[in-house]
Amino acid sequence: MVCRLLEGKKGLIFGALNDLSIAWKVAERAVDEGALVVLSNTPMALRMGETHKLAEKLNTIVIPADATSVDDINELLSKTMDYFGGKIDFILHSIGMSPNVRKSKHYSDLDYGYLNKTLDVSAISFHKVIQSARKMDAINEWGSILGLSYVAAQRTFYGYNDMADAKALLESIGRSFGYIYGREKNVRINTISQSPTPTTAGQGVKGFDNLLDFSERMSPLGNATADECADYCLTMFSDYTRKVTMQNLFHDGGFSSMGMSLQAMQQYNKSFEYDKEHPFD
């Protein structure tokens, strides 16, 4: 389905690593829908990933930037506006990383240097991008900014570690800055709390596949895919949602509003059959 939802809009998209990335899908779909986009990623991600391939496909540019560096962000925003010949209409912040998760530091044995890194990369970078954009007046009136979150910001998932705290911080930053940028320039800021998604980042989470299964069975519509998330992001960038701001929007097939589904319980119940058959486990 394509209806030129973003005709004439210009967007800056962080975090398209490869074709599993939500940001990748958003970039593709935004262009389908009539938008111009600029892609950005860290130099390391650009080496490891395929962002340049996407840029080629979408006939656009990639601007390297470390989103924890205010200097990098300033330069990125400046170049992006040069490229567009004008201000930006929407920004997708799809950035997250925890060295504690990567190095298998348990939440009860966090390295605090790593924690600072987790928060800086995954949450404070959101503030930095917005603060710089506002100072440079880089976003058009009624522009739209999105961050990507996960329900772990509200409820604890074992193994998600300090990313849960980073997501809580990210959502709070969205609200805090949403107030200020909204009252001044009618720029809205929201986060989308997406189903667990088998991106390169998602797959790094411990026990991810089984969590995915549980989440699938708990959600009446099943887990939301990266493609579906992209479609939802488009509506939030479009002019149809101008008065939605400071919200955390669940895009998860219903998971966040479920306590227990029949399907998940039926699967769970089989575990008791297993226990009966393996009494000495």
Q: Which of residues 155-174 bind its own copies (CB under 8 A)?
A: 155-162, 164-165, 167-169, 171-173
**221 touches its own copies by CB under 8 A:** yes
Contact call for residue 243 and its own copies (CB under 8 A): yes
Q: Is 117 in the site for its own copies (CB under 8 A)?
A: no
Find the binding residues for its own copies in span 43-82 (CB under 8 A): 70
Q: How far apart are CA 127 and CA 123, in angstroms?
A: 7
Query: Does residue 144 bind its own copies (CB under 8 A)?
Result: no
CB of residue 158 to its own copies, shortest distance in Å: 4
Residues of span 175-194 touching its own copies by CB under 8 A = 175-183, 186, 188
Does 110 bind its own copies (CB under 8 A)? Our answer is yes
| Nearest C-alpha neighbor of 117 from the set 72, 67, 63 | 67
Return all residues near 66 (Cβ < 8 A) that are at least 6 apart.
42, 43, 72
Residue 209, Cβ density class (10 Å: 0-12 exposed, 13-18 middle, ≥19 buried) = exposed
User: Which of 59, 85, 103, 259 lies at the binding interface for its own copies (CB under 8 A)?
Assistant: 259
Smallest CA-to-CA distance from 45 within 15, 13, 21 is with 15
Shortest reach from residue 43's CB to its own copies, in Å: 21
- Under 8 Å between Cβ of 235 and 146: no
Contact 136, 74 (CB under 8 A): yes
Query: Exactly one of 59, 104, 112, 280 binds its own copies (CB under 8 A); which one?
Result: 112
Q: Is 104 in the site for its own copies (CB under 8 A)?
A: no
